């Protein structure tokens, strides 16, 4: 019982220091986040820029050796979940809506005689969201994906392949439906087959 109380007090102290440290640089992370506060305090593991907002209910799950980077002026709404075992990088001025999941690895399932929960994770592949992107509500971004600069991912999309810069992608699986043409200065529809 005393051990549990000690751990709870230690978690509260780490969480308070973590939140204060980020508040000093104009960053707000809602106190209801889940994750190991001691790990999040280590800037080699979790590095968050200035003027970042992370809404309530965020779950920041970081494995051993993971690196999570969030750039300046990024706004992440409620219910954000990141599962990072290698590297997740979110650029500057990124807008992320409610209930977005980003994962750089996934649960193994190949062994049919073993519960999925007990199987090894798949090989982690870095995820990168470049500057000025907009990620819609209920989006899943999976391992190995790069979302290009100034791209938009539509609500409910499941992104399993990289999206080029200046593109709009929607659907499950996500497909590019528009791209900006710099010659004509127009967003052009892409045919989907």
Structural domains of the chain, ranges and CATH numbers in brackets: 2-189 (2.160.10.10)
**Digit-coded pLDDT (tens) for 111-130:** 999 999 999 888 999 999 99
**In the chain, % of residues over pLDDT 70:** 78
Question: Quick check: 18 pLDDT over 90?
Answer: no
CA 49 to the chain's CA centroid? 14
Supply the Cα-derived Rg of the chain in whole angstroms.
Answer: 18
**In the chain, % of residues over pLDDT 90:** 62
pLDDT band, very low/low/confident/very high, at 72 (cuts 50, 70, 90)? very high
Distances (CA, A) of 87 to 104, 105, 154: 7, 10, 23
Mean pLDDT of the chain: 87
Question: Quick check: 150 pLDDT over 60?
Answer: yes
């Amino acid at each position: 019982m005393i051990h549990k109380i000690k751990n709870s007090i230690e978690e509260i102290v780490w969480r308070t220091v973590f939140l204060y440290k980020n508040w000093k640089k104009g960053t707000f992370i809602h106190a209801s986040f889940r994750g190991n506060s001691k790990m999040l305090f280590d800037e080699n593991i979790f590095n968050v820029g200035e003027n970042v907002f992370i809404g309530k209910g965020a779950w920041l799950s970081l494995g051993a050796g993971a690196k999570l980077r969030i750039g300046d002026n990024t706004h992440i709404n409620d219910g954000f979940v990141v599962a990072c075992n290698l590297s997740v990088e979110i650029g500057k001025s990124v807008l992320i809506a409610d209930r977005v999941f980003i994962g750089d690895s996934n649960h193994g399932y190949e062994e049919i005689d073993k519960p999925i929960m007990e199987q090894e994770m798949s090989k982690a592949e870095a995820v990168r969201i470049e500057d000025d992107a907009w990620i819609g509500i209920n989006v899943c971004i999976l391992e190995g994906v790069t979302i290009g600069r100034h791209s938009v991912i539509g609500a409910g999309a499941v992104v399993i392949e990289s999206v080029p810069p200046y593109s709009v992608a929607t659907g499950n699986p996500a497909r590019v439906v528009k791209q900006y043409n710099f010659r004509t200065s127009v967003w052009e529809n892409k045919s989907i087959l």
